[in-house]
Structure 1
Amino acid sequence: MGNAEETRERILEAAMEEFSSYGIAGARVDRIAKNAGCNKNMIYIYFENKEALFATVLRNNLTRVYEEITFTPDDLPGYAAKVFDFAMTHPDLYRLMAWYGLEQKAINLTERTAVQQKKIKEVMDAQSAGLVGTTFTPGFLLTAIMALATAWTAINPFGPSYEPNALKLPNETRNAIAKAVSLIIKE
């Protein structure tokens, strides 16, 4: 890896920390440059502006999620358990996603929409094949699965407050999430 690529990677790492802590509006390019050990102008050379840098950080991390957590419509409880494990070990990404949710008008992620539509189609196909119940729409099922699987992240106001001991027993919580998903998809 050359110096330019190393600098770019340091910027992305520093930006991940900055954006997951402060969002787009609160993030400071000066702090990113300082933490990356580079000149502020380098950020603008590589990424044009703060919003483009945020979008790059988010895209890179979502791509990593898509690669590391295989979507399995024939095993949605297992998928929910994998999402739970990932969410518990990557709190910075879920904070970044929370900021994206609050500030998404600034960023257009067509790749994310394409992945979501593909998942909806796969659940629809699983419903047609009789593998998943049809009481709920594919979009509702996927929303419920993601809500359950990420309920105990630091950004969620409900999981930790209603069930504060859940994170002390991660295996039991993971199993409860998988069982809940199993019950929901039977309908």
Structure 2
Amino acid sequence: MERDAEATKRRLIDAATKEFAAYGIAGARVDRIAADAKSNKAQIYHYFGSKDALFDAAFSDMARGTVDDVPIDAHDLPEYAGRLYDSYERRPWVRRLVTWYLLERADGSQGLVEAVVESNSAKVAAIAQAQRDGALDDAFSAAEVLGLVVHVSLLWAVSLPEYLAVLGPIDDARRRQIVVDAVRRLIG
């Protein structure tokens, strides 16, 4: 029975991730999530309590998946940024989920997603250690370095079409190389 419950939760999180990425928190519908998961709305409320809690579970799952997919290497942040870029390209729904989160939860009124706080704290600690070891410049704090690396890796995902039109054609390999080179120059 426990395995069935875990399988149901997994299907609900997977379906919720798709739904939230497509429609955001406010636009997502639990009936569509339940149907896609081959479950029912009662199961959503039983396992997660609310649509917001289901979003938190889906967002936490995405964060853990990103950490597993792209573990930080504080001694090679340029390549870490490149691997983050690769991950965002392979999983475009991550960018959409993050965008909806920023649009609908940026005020923090729903509280912080603990899995994301833990992930960021561990990354900041790794960067701080690399700075103490002399492997990284300390012109920026470890938290500032992490923010810069993550945001540079998202450069192309958040670029306006008008900027891309001015830039002209650029292939995926060049986009990735720009991310890696920018972080390399940024951290000295």
Question: TM above 0.5, one fold?
Answer: yes
1:29 pairs with 2:30: yes
**Which blocks of at least 5 consecutive residues in structure 2 are unaligned?**
none
Aligned residues: 183
Q: Which residue of 1 aligns with 2:92?
A: 91
| In 1: Cα distance, 2:169 partner to 2:49 partner | 40
| 1:15-164 alignment, distance < 5 Å | 15-104=16-105, 105-153=109-157, 156-158=158-160, 160-163=161-164
Moved over 6 A (4+): none
Query: How far is 1:46 from its partner?
Result: 1.6
Question: Percent same amino acid among aligned pairs?
Answer: 31
Q: Give the letter for the 1:17 counterpart.
A: K
RMSD (CA atoms): 2.1
SS of aligned partner of 1:93: helix
| In 2: Cα distance, 1:141 partner to 1:86 partner | 19
Query: How far is 1:81 from its partner?
Result: 0.4
**Which blocks of at least 5 consecutive residues in structure 1 are unaligned?**
none
Q: Give the letter for the 1:69 counterpart.
A: V
Would the aligned equivalents of 1:19 and 1:54 in 2 still touch at CA under 8 Å? yes
SS of aligned partner of 2:101: helix
| In 2: Cα distance, 1:97 partner to 1:121 partner | 23
CA, structure 1 residues 128+4, in 2 after alignment: closer, same or farther (shift >3 Å)? closer
